[in-house]
Amino acid sequence: MKMRSMLVVFGLTLFLVGPALAQQRAYNPFPPYELNIHAGGLFPDEGDSNGLLGTRFMLHKASGWGFGGNFDWVPIGDDDTGFDEAVDVNRYLYSFEVDYTFQSDNPLRFFTGAGLGAASTRISDAPDEIDDLQTDFLLPLAIGLKWFNRMDNPSWAIRVDVRDNIIWFERANGDTDPDNNWEVSAGFSILFGE
């Protein structure tokens, strides 16, 4: 049910953004490149929440559309692994994303986005019967806010994201089911380029 609701919201967002595609601005007051460093939390449907660190690199167009890549590292604590012995579990989320930043008359801008990628879970010192690397399909859906330091040619921004990282995990019985993994993160963006 959650999955269907998120896809409907995403579809409506794209439908509402469609008319903005025809509106090209002659002048883009924002630098095209954004390098973002962020931290936050990942809140899966099943299991405990974990901290995350990540980076994003985006190329933004004058129309409001942007595209780029995202990488998040999620260290999973010993209590969350389910193993009897101590193992080191890390999850890596990486994706290609497209987003749209809405125009505004002030430095605060709303954006929405989506992408395609993968979630890799690496288990160090895993028991012999367990694969030490599992990679699953990832569909990130995002909404957020950016606050720019000035309206014309800003050099930095604060970015806040709320994401649903939908991961299709392969279960032990061979089934593949989607899980919602909510991410809340905030970070600092450096803006540059001509």
Domains of the chain: 33-192 (2.40.160.20)
Predicted local confidence at residue 101, as pLDDT: 96
Task: Answer whether 131's CB lies under 8 Å from 89's CB.
Answer: no
**pLDDT tops 80 at residue 27:** no
| Average pLDDT of the segment spanning 120-129 | 77
81 CB burial (10 A radius; 0-12, 13-18, 19+): middle
Residues 6+ apart with CB under 8 A from 173: none
| Average pLDDT of the segment spanning 163-188 | 91
CA–CA distance, 166 with 186 (Å, rounded to integer) = 19
Predicted local confidence at residue 132, as pLDDT: 81
- Phi then psi for 106, rounded to 5 degrees? -135, 175
Nearest-10 Cα torsion for 94, 153, 100, 51? 40
In this structure, the strands spanning 108-124 and 88-101 are antiparallel
Helix segments in the chain, DSSP class H: 2-17
CA–CA distance, 127 with 83 (Å, rounded to integer) = 9
Which amino acid is located at 190 in the chain?
I
What is the overall mean pLDDT for the chain? 86
pLDDT (tens digit per residue) in 60-117:
999 999 999 999 999 986 655 455 667 788 999 999 999 999 999 999 999 999 999 9
In the 8-state DSSP scheme, what is residue 45? S
Run of H or E residues at 68: strand 65-76
**pLDDT tops 70 at residue 121:** yes
Predicted local confidence at residue 137, as pLDDT: 96
Written as six digits, the tokens of 28 are 């883009």
pTM: 0.80
Most distant CA atoms of the chain, gap in Å: 61
Predicted local confidence at residue 14, as pLDDT: 56
